[in-house]
Amino acid sequence: MRAGAISTHGGKERGDAMEQCKLGLMYAIGEHVECDYKKAFHWFFLAAKQENSAARRTLRSRK
């Protein structure tokens, strides 16, 4: 895992919705991590619960 991914994982531990959304995107496209749609959904969902509009749009577009 690269430095950017490690930094993002730190943000998600603090409950930062933007960092959770970024982590979801990383898993969705396989950037610096192995592509994993279940993990991507998990992080997008957590960010959307905190009213992150980008995460909500992403989840709506995947229906």
For 2-46, the pLDDT digits (tens) are 445 545 565 555 689 999 999 999 999 999 999 999 999 999 999
pLDDT at residue number 11:
58
Q: Residue 40 corresponds to which tokens in the numbers above?
A: 């991507």
Q: Residue 16 in contact with residue 46, Cβ under 8 Å? A: no
Question: What CA–CA distance (Å, rounded) separates 35 from 28?
Answer: 6
Give the number of C-alpha atoms closer than 13 A to the C-alpha of residue 10, restricted to the C-beta side.
Answer: 6
pTM: 0.77
Question: What CA–CA distance (Å, rounded) separates 26 from 21?
Answer: 9
